[in-house]
Amino acid sequence: MKPMETLLTAATLVLWLVSMWAGSRRLRFGSFATTLLSIVEVVGVVIAVVALGWLGVALLVAINVIAALIWSIVWAARKESLLAAGAAESGIDVEELDGLWKWMRHEKAFATMPPLERARLIKLLCMRARTPDEIREMSIPIAHLEVIFELELDYLVERFDLLLRRAGKSAAEAMEVADVLTRGTQLSAASFDEMLDALVAFYDDGTGDVALELEEPEVGSAT
C-alpha cells in the first residue's frame, strides 16, 4: 500500500474502533437491513486489518487494550459514585454496600443485570431507607420482576417498596408479594404495572391486606 493509503486505512480503523468503544456506533441485528450493514462493517474492518498487516493488528490490539483500561477506570468510578450516594442517603458504610454489590455477583437472580445497574439498585433501596438485610431480601424479587416484566428500575423499586410498606409487609416477605403480583398479572387482563399501581392505591385507601391473598375459591355444598 502507498503511504497515503496506509494512513487513511489506519485512520479509518482507529476511528471505527474508538466509535465502537464510545458507544456512538453499534452493531445491530434487529432487522435484515441492520444485520447486513453490521456484517459489511465487520468485513470492512477485517479487510482493513489484513491490508495493513502487522500495523493493523497492532492498532487493533492497542486500541482495544487502552479502551478497556480507560473503561474499567470509568466503570469503577461510576460504581463507587452510586454506592457513595447510597451511603450518604442511608448512613450505611460504603464498604458494607460494596459487600452487598459483591454478593449480587454470585446470585443467579442478578446474572442478567449489568454491574452498574446492580449498584444503582442498591442506591435506590438505600434511598427508600432500607437496611442492608432488607436490601438483600428485596433485591432478588425486584431483579426477577425487572427481567420478567421489563420495567424501569426506578419505578419498580419505588412502587414495590411503597406497596410493602402500605400493606404492612416486611422485606422478608418481598418474594411472596412478588409471587402474588406475578400470579395476579397472569390471571388478569391487567399489565404488571397496572396491577402494582392498583394495589398501591388500594392500600392507600386503608382497605386492609386482603388484596395480597390469592385464595382458592370456596366451593359451597348443595343444600
Digit-coded pLDDT (tens) for 160-199: 999 999 888 999 999 999 998 888 888 888 888 888 888 8
Query: What is the reported pTM?
Result: 0.69
Phi/psi region, residue 129 (left: phi>0; alpha: psi -120 to 50; beta: rest), is left
CA distances from 197 to 71, 162, 170, 200 (A): 38, 10, 19, 5
What is the identity of the amino acid at 150? E
Q: How far apart are CA 100 and CA 107, in angstroms?
A: 11
Q: Which residues contact 34 (CB under 8 A, 6 or more apart)?
A: 28
Mean pLDDT of the region 37-42: 80
The reported pLDDT for the residue numbered 222 is 42
Question: Taking a C-beta distance cutoff of 8 angstroms, is the pair 165, 171 a contact?
Answer: no
**Which pairs from 93-96 meet CB under 8 Å and 24+ separation?**
96/132
The reported pLDDT for the residue numbered 10 is 77
Cα-flanking dihedrals φ and ψ of residue 64, to 5°? Answer: -65, -40
Nearest C-alpha neighbor of 115 from the set 86, 76, 88, 147 = 76
- Cell 359451597 belongs to 220
The reported pLDDT for the residue numbered 7 is 74
The reported pLDDT for the residue numbered 219 is 42
**Residue 205 above 90 pLDDT?**
no
Q: How far apart are CA 10 and CA 88, in angstroms?
A: 47
Tens-place pLDDT, residues 130-157: 999 999 999 999 999 998 888 899 999 9
Q: How far apart are CA 218 and CA 47, in angstroms?
A: 71
The reported pLDDT for the residue numbered 206 is 54
Q: In angstroms, how far is CA 193 from the centroid of its own chain?
A: 18
Q: How far apart are CA 150 and CA 214, in angstroms?
A: 24
**Residue 30 above 80 pLDDT?**
no
- Cell 452510586 belongs to 82
- Cell 348443595 belongs to 222
